Amino acid sequence: MIHLPRTKTLLKFKTVSICLLISMASFAQKKNLNTKPYPYGNPVIKHMYTADASPHVMPDGRVWMVTSVDHEDGGGYSTMHCYHTFSSKDMVNWTDHGEVLNIYDAIGKTEEPKGEDWALWAPDMVYYEGKYYLYFPVRILFKEGGYDEKNRKTIAYTAVAVSDSPDKRFKVINPKIEGTTGIDPAIFIDDDGQKYLYYGSHMAAKLKDNMTELDGKPIKLDVDDDRFMEAIWMNKKAGKYYLSYHTEYDKPIDPEKPDDLFRKKSRLDYGVSDNPLGPFEYKGILNYELGVNVSEGPKYPGKNYVPWRLYQSNHGGIVEYHGQEYLFYHTSALSSWRQDEFKNAGTWTQRSVCIDKIVYDESGQIRPVQQTLTGVPAVVINQPFEINLDIKSNLIKNNILEFKDINLGSGYYYAGMNLKGIKTPTKCAIHLDRPDGELIGTFIIKKDGISETLLRNANRTHTVFFVFENQFDANSKIVSAKIFAGSPK
């Protein structure tokens, strides 16, 4: 196996990636000869091709995303062989932390088996109890059917890797999660601590606390839309579960009539439910086809639309950061620039991550995202990273711990407790304003030591209640407690 140094660098410098070296075939496409700086804010990653971003706020208070990597020489989806992680403290300036996993980590060999094309497609990465878990689909394309992919056998399943840090190498700990088939895994942790894996077309399952196995049989989601295809993502807002996905679509796009009413469009649509496992009622469009309604910037020669309007590959990820939700998606705008200075559409499988705002109406409906070349404004945060809760002055009464007038500002994303004397595993729910008020997170307490939980909608000033599920043992003790990740490190 080739080993190259991984560098942490601001995106104005190019980062070496082993996966850009392991696909050595020659591809018949235009070269990326234009070295002039890309002139716009979107895409946000400009020194390499990135796709399928999965964004989450991590315990350091920064937004992190793991992305697929499209090959510098193109060559199609079978040349996607690694993942990079990136982080930002303001949604504008991103740091490339380098390659964290490649195809050989998944195969466990130094070369692909003969007669097989292995690829790593859209991943997801989450934090849980001191570890970072990377979920990724392994796709194998068998060559017996010749070069026409429609006639070739394919299989796909989900694997999981772990790391102590999102900028360090991940180690595969389960090369195949039993019961999974298909692509595009996405992880959702609910406010009650339950973890879910969504994947493939319509599939979902609960995850065990070990984060590596399904907890029961997968189910096929009831989604009120017969065009559901892939790229599933779960987001929760105001107690509702928003399931977004990529729709089935027709291609190629006719340059003379890209908005042809009879052509199925490549959109991100969404449905809403009161339950994370559905059923989901169709609500509308999250993201139009790439390039639709982008009024700024260059135009395809002789047309009134941007060049990358002709190439479609919609895939979305959503994150809330200090009061604003953002959609991460990808386009071929950077490819169009690097090949022809926007004179042509670029390459289908040289995509780049873009970010734009999500806006809801008063009824909770999402207004279709306005795609921009400008991108989003920088987020400015002026509050402490953590709030240490006063344990000594607040005694546990009836299994409830109360903290008054906690200023959560524009948002805090994690809470932690250090406990001693724990004899029986238990849960501790965090509520706002009342012991049975809004649930924003749940500690899953298994043993002595530090227990942590993700928080959702933890902002503004509230009385915060820690409500223990079981009788708190007289010999048990809370050493310390804090709410943190309120500003980026």
Burial class (CB in 10 A: 0-12, 13-18, 19+), 112: middle
- Closest Cα partner for 62 from 23, 38, 101, 88? 88
Task: Give φ, ψ of 328 to 5 degrees.
Answer: -100, 130
* Cα 9 from Cα 23, distance rounded (Å): 24
d(Cα 151, Cα 326) in Å, to the nearest integer? 39
Residues 6+ apart with CB under 8 A from 53: 65, 66, 67, 317, 328, 329, 330, 353
**The pLDDT value given to residue 130:** 96
- Residue 150 has what pLDDT? 64
DSSP count for the chain of H helices, then E strands = 2, 30
In this predicted model, what pLDDT tens digit does every residue of 423-448 receive, in sequence order? 888 999 999 999 999 999 999 998 99
Instruction: Provide the pLDDT for residue 474.
Output: 72
- Residues forming beta bridges with residue 415, ordered by sequence position: 453, 483
Helix, strand or coil, per DSSP, at residue 393: coil
Cβ(365)–Cβ(324) under 8 Å? no
Task: Check residue 380 and give its pLDDT.
Answer: 98
Tell me the two tokens of residue 98.
């380098």
Backbone angles phi, psi at 12, to 5 degrees: -75, -10
Q: Are 388 and 406 in contact (CB under 8 A)?
A: no
User: What is the pTM for the complete model shown?
Assistant: 0.94
Angstrom distances, CA of residue 115 to CA of 142, 149, 160: 6, 13, 25
Using CA atoms, how far apart are residues 338 and 140, in angstroms rounded to an integer?
30
- How far is residue 79 CA from its own chain's centroid? 21
- pLDDT tens, residue by residue, 326-366: 999 999 999 999 999 999 999 989 999 999 999 999 999 99
What per-residue confidence (pLDDT) applies to 370?
Answer: 98
Element at 334 (helix H, strand E): helix 333-340
Phi, psi dihedrals of residue 465, rounded to the nearest 5°: -115, 130
The DSSP secondary-structure symbol of 19 reads: G
**Per-residue pLDDT at 106:** 92
Question: d(Cα 459, Cα 410) in Å, to the nearest integer?
Answer: 5
Q: Rounded distance, CA 322 to CA 142, Å?
A: 46
What's the CA gap between 344 and 337, in Å, rounded? 8
The reported pLDDT for the residue numbered 152 is 74
In single-letter form, the type of residue at position 180 comes to T
Retrieve residue 131's tokens.
């570890």
CB-CB contact of 186 with 172 (8 Å): no
Distances (CA, A) of 219 to 259, 275, 484: 36, 13, 35
**Cβ 45 vs Cβ 34: under 8 Å:** no
Which tokens in the block code for residue 18? 């082993």
Contact 480, 379 (CB under 8 A): no
Strands (E), 143-267: 154-163, 171-174, 186-189, 195-199, 203-207, 219-220, 228-237, 240-247
Give the residue carrying structure tokens 């019961």: 179
Spatial CB neighbours of 392, under 8 Å, sequence gap ≥ 6:
none
Model pLDDT, residue 348: 86
Q: How far apart are CA 65 and CA 319, in angstroms?
A: 10
From the number of C-beta atoms within 10 Å of its C-beta (0-12, 13-18, 19+), residue 5 rates as exposed
Place of tokens 């899953």: 444
- The DSSP code sequence of 243-298 is EEEEEP---SPPTT-TT-TTSPP--EEEEEESSTT--BEEEEEEE-STTTT--SS-
Structure-token match 């088939």, residue found: 181
Spatial separation of the C-alpha atoms in residues 299 and 308, rounded to whole Å:
9
User: Over its length of 489 residues, how does the chain's per-residue pLDDT go in tens digits?
Assistant: 223 333 333 443 334 455 655 544 434 568 999 999 999 999 999 999 999 999 999 999 999 999 999 999 888 888 899 999 999 999 999 999 999 999 999 998 888 888 888 999 999 999 999 999 999 999 998 877 655 656 678 899 999 999 999 999 999 999 999 999 999 999 999 999 999 999 998 999 999 999 999 999 999 999 999 999 999 999 999 999 999 999 999 989 999 999 999 999 999 999 999 999 999 999 999 999 999 999 999 999 999 999 999 999 899 999 999 999 999 999 999 999 999 999 999 998 999 999 999 999 999 999 999 999 999 999 999 999 999 999 987 778 889 999 999 999 999 999 999 999 988 889 999 999 999 999 999 999 989 999 999 999 999 999 999 999 987 777 788 999 999 999 999
At which residue do the structure tokens 């902002």 appear? 459
Domains of the chain: 9-367 (2.115.10.20), 386-484 (2.60.120.260)
Residue 426 in tokens: 């238990």
pLDDT for position 423: 85
Kind and range of the H or E run holding 426: strand 426-432
Distance of CA 284 to the CA centre of its chain: 21
Q: Which two tokens stand for residue 127?
A: 């934090």
